Amino acid sequence: MHQLWTQIFEPGFFSSAPVHTAAAVGAAVAVVSAVTGVFTVMRGQSFGGHALGDVSAAGGSGALLIGLTPVVGFVGLGIIGAGVMDMIGVRRVRGRDLATGIVLGAAIGLSALFLYLDTTAGATTGATQQILFGSIFTTAGGTIPAVAIFGAIALACVAVTWRPLLLSTVSTDMAAARGVPVRLVGLLYMLALALSVGLSSVAVGAILSTALLIGPAATALRLTRTVGWAVAAACLIGVGATWLGILLAYDSYYWGSAHLGLPVSFFIVAVVFAAYLLSGLPAARTAAGRRGASTSLAAAPADEQIRA
Amino acid sequence: MFAGFMMNTWAVATIVAPVAGVVGFFVVLRGSAFPAHAIPKGAFAGAAGASLLGISTLAGLAVFSLLGALGIGALGRRSRHDVATALALVMMLALGAAFLSRTTEYEPEIYSLLFGEVLGVSTTELLPVAALGAVCIAAVIILYRPLMLSSVVPEIADAKGIGSHRMEICFLIVVALATAMTVPVVGALLIFSLMIGPPAAARSLTSRPALAMLLSVAIALLTVWAAIAASYTWNWPVGFFVGALGALSYGAGRAWAAWRHTRTTTPAAPAAPQRLAAAVDRT
């Protein structure tokens, strides 16, 4: 029994300080990401959520360049980017995705410039890799208060606008007819998204930022149609995947003879991805039963549908 | 800037831009901006892994970009397309992170894979890039009618037996090939800027497809040439100029369209109740 325990929880896991930090930061990020993520998936703004991660990263490398703490850059440029996307975006989904893409392209161009200036002026080799593949285990201690504060603000934004946001997500026309300030609510949502993505990018890296935003939320929305339950489920799945990923990453150093281990972002994403695939199994079984009657029209998603 | 070693760069750029312009026309038409970003980004993960394992980066690019296209297509069968794209993307990036962790070296080549490198184009790259580009353009020409139908009027396309899912997979594969061939000069992160900015600008100028595609190619060529010249002159990364010029051309296109819009009388938009009724009918 003891051997099984040490097989699963390799020695030193529960007493390791980096693991504690990673678990705390990861859980906080997972919860904030899950809440904003549910609305992101419902509003069909997964691209925006991902794009803001790259925009934030540009802000991070820019902040490094002028000597500010990266958090300021991540959140600052994220908010500016979200504002610009909202301003030039149009209501039609395709136009909005184009606007997102343009802002993203400009931000990545800035990233290229900042990283180039960083590496020629400073000594940050591997900055490129760090920005793209940043790791939860290398989270600086100073980011924890920032994660807590900005995370709380993002959650507050969503809580305050819950009903109008939900209404304008389901149908912008009905919301407008009921007097909901649709554009203002949309802008507040984008700000919450920018905060959430900014802090998750700096805390856990660009890959996990998108994965924790979209994955658990999409899985939860497949399991339930009620938004409240979806948010709760997404939080559970997100935190569970994060902690399981941390555990697997810690254990992976004991696998094989090379003792190199695999990055924690790989494990967390793998768990999130697996959870999403598993949640699709019940639907796949019913679809197989109805295979003769299915049409390709049914498989094409409409812009307005809420479907994960 | 037209010295011997730069000629390769100009040559590759002149091959890359038309492909980006043509494929990008459909990217904009189909609203596939996210896959156009996700496939190159995921492909980069494969290329970085390949380069660190000693295999050709072009092979790594091609394999991972095809993997990405098929992954997005497979997931997109039963999910929202944007969720499918996001999840496929992060899974590929996570695999890339796993590859990169196998070694502790830092490769300068990774920077140029991401953001492009004006000086780094070798003569041996020209032929495979040109070949892939020809395949891409040929594919678009062959698929032109069904692709246009399924992009603009999907219901009619379905009625004619052109499965929208099959067209989506075909189109994603074309994007994957375009990705693999365009990374050398422009870089993985910015090829999609070439596939979005110029075509979007072109569509703001005209709604006729053939003309829009020609304009898209022209603007893409101008963009990438100007970016190379600027990068050569000021030593800043070529990717920066591609991103900036892409945004500028999009902005100019929007401004032009808005100016034209205010000069002509516009028909009144349909009343809100009618739109709501239409929305209800569609669900």
Tell me the per-residue pLDDT of B48-81, one tens digit each, with 9 for 90 and over. 777 777 777 778 888 888 999 999 998 888 888 8
Number of domains in chain A: 1
Containing structural domain, residue A203: 17-122+144-281
Q: What is the mean pLDDT of residues A112-136?
A: 64
A243/A29 Cα distance (integer angstroms): 12
Task: Among B163, B250, B276, select the one facing A102 at the smallest CB separation.
Answer: B250
B241 φ, ψ (degrees, to nearest 5): -70, -35
pLDDT at A295 exceeding the cut of 70 = no
Q: Which residues of A touch B85 (CB under 8 A)?
A: 46-47
Helix segments in chain B, DSSP class H:
4-30, 33-53, 57-75, 81-100, 108-115, 123-142, 144-152, 154-159, 164-186, 191-205, 209-234, 238-263, 272-282
Tokens encoding B232: 């050569």
Which CATH number does the domain housing residue B202 bear?
A: 1.10.3470.10
- What pLDDT is attached to residue A172? 78
Does B250 sit within 8 Å of A98, measured CB to CB? yes
ipTM confidence: 0.85
Containing structural domain, residue B249: 4-282
Task: Among B89, B200, B244, select the one facing A98 at the smallest CB separation.
Answer: B200
Length of chain B: 283
pLDDT digits (tens, 9 = 90+) for A229-245: 999 999 999 999 999 99
pLDDT at B213 exceeding the cut of 90 = yes
Nearest-Cα distance to chain B for A2, in Å, is 30
- What pLDDT is attached to residue A284? 67
pLDDT at B20 exceeding the cut of 80 = yes
Which carries the bigger pLDDT value, residue A129 or residue B233?
A: B233
pLDDT at A89 exceeding the cut of 80 = no
Q: Is B67 exposed, middle or buried (0-12, 13-18, 19+ CB in 10 A)?
A: buried
Does B86 sit within 8 Å of A214, measured CB to CB? yes
- Crossing angle of the two packed helices B191-205 and B33-53, in degrees rounded to 10: 160
A138 reaches B (C-beta below 8 A): no
pLDDT at A304 exceeding the cut of 50 = no
Does B81 sit within 8 Å of A88, measured CB to CB? no
| pTM given for the model | 0.85
Going by pLDDT thresholds of 50, 70 and 90, the confidence category of residue A108 is confident
A170 reaches B (C-beta below 8 A): no
Does B93 sit within 8 Å of A215, measured CB to CB? no
Q: Residues with Cβ < 8 Å from B85, sequence gap 6 or more?
A: A46, A47, B34, B35, B38, B72, B76
A116/B118 Cα distance (integer angstroms): 14
Q: Residues with Cβ < 8 Å from B99, sequence gap 6 or more?
A: B45, B46, B48, B49, B52, B53
Q: Residues with Cβ < 8 Å from A76, sequence gap 6 or more?
A: A59, A63
- Structure letter (DSSP) for residue A138: G
A98/A101 Cα distance (integer angstroms): 5
Residues 218-277 of A with CB under 8 A from B: 218, 260-263, 265-266, 268-270, 272-273, 276
A207 reaches B (C-beta below 8 A): yes
Which helix (H) or strand (E) segment holds residue A264: the answer is: helix A264-279
Residue A150 lies in a domain: yes
pLDDT digits (tens, 9 = 90+) for B262-271: 776 555 444 4
- What pLDDT is attached to residue B202? 93
- What pLDDT is attached to residue A40? 93
- What pLDDT is attached to residue A23? 87
pLDDT at B195 exceeding the cut of 60 = yes
Which CATH number does the domain housing residue A113 bear?
A: 1.10.3470.10
Nearest-Cα distance to chain A for B223, in Å, is 13
A158/A46 Cα distance (integer angstroms): 17
A120 reaches B (C-beta below 8 A): no
Q: Which residues of A touch B246 (CB under 8 A)?
A: 102, 105-106, 109
Which of A45, A35, A34, A30 shows the shortest CA–CA distance to A186? A45
Amino acid occupying residue A234: A
Task: Among B81, B200, B275, select the one facing A301 at the smallest CB separation.
Answer: B81
| C-alpha torsion B16→B17→B18→B19, nearest 10 | 50
Interface contacts (A, B; CB < 8 Å): 221
- What pLDDT is attached to residue A138? 59
pLDDT digits (tens, 9 = 90+) for A32-50: 999 999 999 998 889 999 9
- What pLDDT is attached to residue A130? 60
| B218, B55 Cβ separation under 8 angstroms | no
Mean pLDDT of chain B: 82
Mean pLDDT of chain A: 80
Task: Among B87, B116, B246, select the one facing A215 at the smallest CB separation.
Answer: B87
Residue A303 lies in a domain: no
Does B106 sit within 8 Å of A211, measured CB to CB? no
Q: Residues with Cβ < 8 Å from B32, sequence gap 6 or more?
A: B26, B171, B172, B175
Going by pLDDT thresholds of 50, 70 and 90, the confidence category of residue A291 is low
Q: What is the mean pLDDT of residues B6-29?
A: 88
pLDDT at A9 exceeding the cut of 80 = no
A286 reaches B (C-beta below 8 A): no
Whole-Å CA distances, B263 to B200, B217, B218, B253: 21, 28, 26, 16
Does B155 sit within 8 Å of A112, measured CB to CB? no
| B241, B250 Cβ separation under 8 angstroms | no
A293/A128 Cα distance (integer angstroms): 50
Residue A307 lies in a domain: no
Number of domains in chain B: 1
A172/B255 Cα distance (integer angstroms): 26
Best mutation target, A296, A297, A305, to test chain B (most B CBs within 10 A): A296
For residue B189, the chain A residue with the least C-alpha distance is A108
Q: Which residues of B touch A301 (CB under 8 A)?
A: 80-81
Residue A5 lies in a domain: no
pLDDT at A169 exceeding the cut of 70 = yes
Going by pLDDT thresholds of 50, 70 and 90, the confidence category of residue A213 is very high
pLDDT at A218 exceeding the cut of 90 = yes
Which helix (H) or strand (E) segment holds residue A202: the answer is: helix A182-223
Residue A132 lies in a domain: no
Tokens encoding A82: 């979200």
Q: What is the mean pLDDT of residues A57-63?
A: 84
- What pLDDT is attached to residue A8? 75
Q: Which of A21-25, A145-149, A193-197, B257-261 has the highest mean pLDDT?
A: A193-197
| B131, B22 Cβ separation under 8 angstroms | no
pLDDT at B281 exceeding the cut of 70 = no
| A151, A199 Cβ separation under 8 angstroms | yes
Best mutation target, A114, A214, A297, to test chain B (most B CBs within 10 A): A214
A239/A41 Cα distance (integer angstroms): 18
pLDDT at A273 exceeding the cut of 60 = yes
Q: Is A132 exposed, middle or buried (0-12, 13-18, 19+ CB in 10 A)?
A: buried
A68/A57 Cα distance (integer angstroms): 14
